[in-house]
Amino acid sequence: MAGLLMPYNDAPHLFAVMNDPCPDGQCLVLMVTTLKAGRYHDPTCLLNVGDHPFIRHPSWIAYRIAETPRAAHVGNMVDKKLFIPRDDWTPAVFNRLAAGIYNSDDTRGGIIKYANANNI
């Protein structure tokens, strides 16, 4: 349920770490991005101010770019202070994020398979 600030396109974005490392040493991460008028957004999981202390604007989860990085790499980037830990997600919001993995038309099949195999 961890929150993590990671760079994406040279800008820091809030990510949700969805699981402890799996037996293959990976974890699933989902990116939060700001909702912008006139630009595409996936309506599956919209977030508002108050859903996480770091969120300052209406936002959404970009399921299309969900990734499963190696947990050792994530830990190394945290140690180097290139990824910055943020507050955990509340269980209610975390459950919304997780449900969206299965409900979003943008989630790639491999991500759904990983989430299912790891009880996310």
For the cut 90, the answer to whether the pLDDT of residue 69 exceeds it is yes
- Does this model's pTM top 0.85? My answer is yes
Instruction: Say if residue 69 is exposed, middle or buried (CB neighbours under 10 Å; 0-12, 13-18, 19+).
Output: middle
Tokens of 80: 């180097």
Domains with residue ranges and CATH for the chain: 2-117 (2.30.30)
- pLDDT recorded at residue 30: 98
For the cut 90, the answer to whether the pLDDT of residue 10 exceeds it is no
Banded model confidence at residue 22, pLDDT cuts 50, 70, 90: very high
